[in-house]
Amino acid sequence: MDNINNNYLCFNISGKKIKNKKEIFFFFFFFFFFFFFFFFFFFFLKKKKKTEKR
């Protein structure tokens, strides 16, 4: 009974039940894409500042 409760809490994001794995995959994909975009933008901005100093 405890195990089932833990699984329910794991898949309960912001009070919304996720029934299919497609939604979980989309959520992780969106998070990964946002992190990658932020890292790329920060790196590009840093590179731009270096060229400005020259």
Digit-coded pLDDT (tens) for 9-53: 555 555 556 566 777 788 888 889 999 998 888 888 887 776 666
pTM beyond 0.95, yes or no: no
Contact 34, 20 (CB under 8 A): no
Contact 17, 11 (CB under 8 A): yes
**What are the domain boundaries of the chain?**
2-53
d(CA 10, CA 28): 14
In 3D space, the residue among 37, 34, 15 whose CA is nearest the CA of residue 26 turns out to be 34
Contact 27, 14 (CB under 8 A): no
